[in-house]
Structure 1
Amino acid sequence: MLHDYWMYRGDDDFIRDKLNGARDILKFFSGYQGSDGSLKNTPYWTFVDWANGKDWSVGSPPKGADGGSAILDLQLLWAYQWAGEMEGRLGLPYFAGLYHQKAEQLKQVIRRKYWSASRRLFADTEEKTLFSQHANSLAILTGLVASADLAKAGQRLLTDSTLTQCSIYFKYYLHQALTKAGLGDGYMDWLGIWRKDMAMGLTTWAEDSNVEYTRSDCHAWSSSPNIEFFRTVLGIDSDAPGFKKIKIEPHLGKLTNAAGEIPHPRGKVGVRYRLDQGKWRISISLPAGTTGRLVWKGKDYELKAGDQLVAL
């Protein structure tokens, strides 16, 4: 949450004030890391998702005989990566170095403990008998999957029905991973559970995929399309802390006419895409004091503040 706020809003003084709290959280978890960096027997309710896979218990992922969990190790890795970025820009060099070191150690142990060469997937535990969309989504998002392997890894996430499936909540991370794997043009096809909610007459999103027995019919954690229509489909995202740089990388799929705008610390970012006689007419508006780039079919096009038209 702190890293998101830093990227989309800035407010450096607020972030600096909260870094001590982030350090305390990471110090707590470091107490459960073994000498190799892997977490062991993490206490309390280690909730990850309302998944229905084998050995998942009340939302907590499977743990191996050694008390370890790939998903928990991957979450900690991501936390070290985020904290290291913020410490490097706003905090103390000591913590930036420490978190970088711990992240690199975790990368090595996760590859060693959980990678299955036969399945070409990361397992949930060291025994390599259980596999999930969760672990492999996080592996993509934390940079453990090489660029050359991203597309195939994403396809496995989409098509391998033996993987423990994400519920509506964790699809937030699954969809980010699929987009990073180059499959973002399929986003509008991934919304089956939301369409199911609508077909049942719900006007807010339910907490769990199993909507017949869900606990809450109005749950914010199920509302990821609220951002992904803008971030994934329209492609508007922060490209630097404080949203000072803006990346526009749309994933329109079958859409031929789409538009929208989002708030920005300096105003609004607006885009419009229209396919006209085989050419895309793209209108982009960036706030004053910002710069940006349009990413279109693997090529970057420089953007400036103000209104601009691009034909491709």
Structure 2
Amino acid sequence: MEGTNGSSTGDFILFGFSDRPKLERVLFFVNMIFYFLAITGNSTIIFLSLMDPRLHTPMYFFLSNLSLLDLCYTTSSIPQMLVNLWGPRKTITYVGCVIQLFAFLSVGGIECILLSVMAYDRFVAVCKPLHYMTIMHPQLCLQLAAFAWLSGIANSILMSPLTMSLGRCGRRRINHFVCEMPAIIRISCVDTSRVEGLAFFLAIPIVLVPLTMILVSYGYIAVAVLRIRSAAGRRKAFNTCSSHMAVVSLFYSSIIYMYMQPGNVASQDQGKFLTLFYCLVTPTLNPFIYTLRNKDVKGAVWRLLGKDHKPLDSGGH
């Protein structure tokens, strides 16, 4: 069915990697494994943060929000992707496509701002440790998290309808495996410069400003760490922030490439693998990055298993 503006409201065909069926089979099993790990890891972080009183701190409150975002990322796209990779039909309904687009835009915006909030939290922890709990009080943490969620959702409420309303002249074949904004823009048959210009403009407060805040925060942290005289103190401060910087690097490197340039410039195959990276690989890696060297989370696991003889090391804070 065609709308008055020439945009189709029927099912979309997600072409993805249909021209490489062997790659589709490999991707199906790889994605299924990563999806299971992402769901398990992020659900565990949320569960431990809720159940263990010693993890009722600002750091783990924000980390739980990040894990919830990662769950939304993967759940909004990977099940549909697995169905399309395995079966002969590579379709998604119009409503399903709208939901995917809304989820990607909102969750991406929320995560950008949330990562800057987490950088500020680490800045206060390292540079103002004596005033940490006074500054990062529960009310402020709730306000910062609410601001991140509302900003990302507002961005998606604005951009999703504009993207879906672009005239497509009956085109329904999306050369991607998810309904992502750059892929939808590519199948438009009208001038998309205004939508792309607005997307770039909104990316300044949603992507670049939070990234600048992160870099400034870690600049102050680096100066503070260099002033610490003891090697053990410097190592503890570095461990406090290294996991967050790894997550920031993984997320921003892919998101900037995808959304800070016009939709028809990026290599389409590169775009597909980058989408896989930030909607599946990054959500899978985040729980491991945050917990592999984190004694607090390991201690929470031992206490949950009834083996509270493990010493608690606050080095993860």
Q: Same fold (TM over 0.5)?
A: no
Question: Normalized per residue, which structure has more strand?
Answer: 1
Higher helix share: 2
Q: Which has the higher contact order (CA 8 A, sep 6+)?
A: 2
| Length-normalised TM-score, structure 2 | 0.30
